[in-house]
Amino acid sequence: MYNKEKQLFFAALFLSGKPLDLRFLRKIFEPINMENRIDEYIDEFNALNLGIKIRKVAEGYQMVTDTSVFDELSDFFGEKTENLSKAALETIAIIAYRQPVTKIEVEEIRGVNSSGIIRQLLDKNLIRVMGRKNVVGRPLLYCTTKYFLEYFNLKSLSELPTFREWQELKQDN
DSSP structure string for 37-104 = HHHHHHHHHHHT--SEEEEEETTEEEEEE-HHHHHHHHHHH---SPPPPHHHHHHHHHHHHH-SB-HH
Tell me the pLDDT tens digit for each residue of 40-83.
Answer: 889 999 999 998 999 888 778 888 888 878 778 777 776 555 68
Give the Å distances, CA to CA, from 140 to 118, 143, 148. Answer: 11, 10, 19
Domains of the chain: 4-77 (1.10.10.10), 86-172 (1.10.10.10)
Tell me which of 74-83, 125-134, 136-145, 150-159 is least confident: 74-83
Find the range with the poorest average confidence among 23-27, 47-51, 69-73, 105-109. 69-73
